[in-house]
Amino acid sequence: MAHFISQTEADIFFSMEKFPEEDISYSFPHSGEKIIIPFLSEDKRESFLFDISRGKIELSKAVFQSRVRKIYVLRRIDLNGPMHRNPEVDKAPLEIFEPYNGREIPTPHMHVYIEGFGERWAVPASIFIDMAGKENFDLLFDFFKYCNVKKFPNINNTLL
């Protein structure tokens, strides 16, 4: 299996409409927990996984990610965690990354799949999602929307 999918494939997968594989309820993870929700493309030919995890010590820390073919991370948003350092290259792979070439990006930041780099490039999440004054639970649904999820799974918010 190749270590990377092409950028064209990644862009197609990202833009595909996604629907929950099952009509079941999930609980937003408690501290230190993780859930994985399976999704399908409209034609049911491609499967996706959405990982939702929360920090064990820092309750506001969370990571939401969208994967295709089990291993390829298309997008990942890191909330209230450590900074991320982008690769330093002569020319960033996309114009949007140029101001962040070789720089540390504070959270919240969004990792974007780039052919040859995987999800090693990140930019401030606010470029893609309105982050202002939102709790992680609400940001999860903004992330779903950004990832072209057309039917949200039933996720119950938890108190801790």
pLDDT in tens, 119-137: 999 999 999 999 999 999 9
In the structure, what pLDDT confidence band is assigned to residue 160 with cuts at 50, 70 and 90?
low
What is the percent of the chain where pLDDT is above 70?
96
Two tokens, residue 113 = 């799949």
Between 159 and 88, name the one with better pLDDT: 88
Where do the structural domains in the chain lie, given as residue ranges? 7-151
Q: Does residue 39 surpass a pLDDT of 90? A: yes
Range with the lowest mean pLDDT among 2-6, 51-55, 59-63? 2-6
Q: Residue 1 has what pLDDT?
A: 43
The mean pLDDT value for 80-102 works out to 95
**pTM exceeds 0.95, yes or no:** no
In the structure, what pLDDT confidence band is assigned to residue 60 with cuts at 50, 70 and 90?
confident
User: Is the peptide bond between 29 and the residue preceding it cis, with omega within 30 degrees of 0?
Assistant: no
Q: Residue 95 has what pLDDT?
A: 94
Question: To 5 degrees, how large is the angle CA 60–CA 68–CA 8?
Answer: 115
Q: Residue 159 has what pLDDT?
A: 63
